[in-house]
Amino acid sequence: MTTTALVGATVQISRRAGSRRDVHPRDVVRRSKRLSYVLRHAPGSVGLTLDAAGWTDVDALLAALGWTRAELERVVATNDKRRFALDESGTRIRASQGHSVAVDLGYAALTPPPVLFHGTAERNLPAIEAEGLRPGRRHAVHLSPDEVTARRVGARHGRPVVLRVDAGGVARDGAVFTRSANGVWLVDAVPPRYLRALGRQVAAWP
């Protein structure tokens, strides 16, 4: 089984016979947040363990969360960010990126496009101006391939600001980029000199 085979796994989810529960969209969002928390940060909170690559057993997950297979499938299939991936057999699941627990997702190093984007909240600009982009409790900085996606990410945290990232320059300085199964670019850090806040003036930035 290869990592590349996981791309599009959300479309390949097995459809089993039987009726589905009618789940309200807000409940799907709530379940998605809980699944992210468990698979990215705290598998032990529900008695699960992740293997070295971040996978856990689907049946064990369903038992721990008290969900049906249909409920899990709906959360995975309707997540517009494709945050979760099932393996080819449909028996294991993991988060595509964003872990704070130690995992090796096995993504190959890639040459990034010349420009990427990062969405954040306006209140974070002073710290970013001073320190650049840091992963915080995650293992990597997350970068978006387009401005629209980055703005949507930033809006989740407050008044959104989009940063233009000179990804080509960061790569030329030796940083290693990878790309997750759902298209998010990952890098250890981005120094301030490679950033520009779109639509506003920040003193130390070009």
Going by C-beta distance under 8 Å and a sequence separation of 6 or more, which residues neighbour residue 162? Answer: 117, 118, 119, 147, 150, 151, 154, 197, 198, 199
Beta-carbon contacts of 163 under 8 Å, excluding residues fewer than 6 positions away, are 117, 118, 119, 120, 128, 133, 150, 195, 196, 197, 198
Residue position matching structure tokens 């080819």: 88
How many other CB atoms sit within 10 Å of the CB of residue 33? Answer: 12
Task: Give how many domains the chain has, as a whole number.
Answer: 2
CATH number at residue 70: 1.10.10.970
Residue at 205 is within a domain: no
- Both 189 and 116 in a single domain? yes
Tell me: do 157 and 188 sit in the same domain: yes
The reply to whether 89 and 8 lie within a common domain is yes
Residue 176 and residue 150 in one domain: yes
In a domain, 156, yes or no: yes
- At 167, list the tokens: 């990804």
User: Do residue 84 and residue 9 come from a single domain?
Assistant: yes
Domain harbouring 173, CATH code: 3.20.170.30
Structure tokens at 179: 């790309």
17: confidence class by pLDDT, cuts 50, 70, 90: very low
Residue 104 counted as domain residue: no
pTM: 0.63
Cβ 58 vs Cβ 93: under 8 Å:
yes
Composition of the chain by helix, strand, coil, percent to 5: 35, 20, 50
Q: pLDDT tens digits for 73-131?
A: 899 888 777 889 888 888 999 998 888 887 777 888 999 999 999 999 999 999 999 99
Domain carrying residue 184: 109-197
Q: Does residue 39 belong to any structural domain of this protein?
A: yes
pLDDT at 138 over 60: yes
Lowest mean pLDDT among 55-64, 95-104, 129-138, 157-166: 95-104
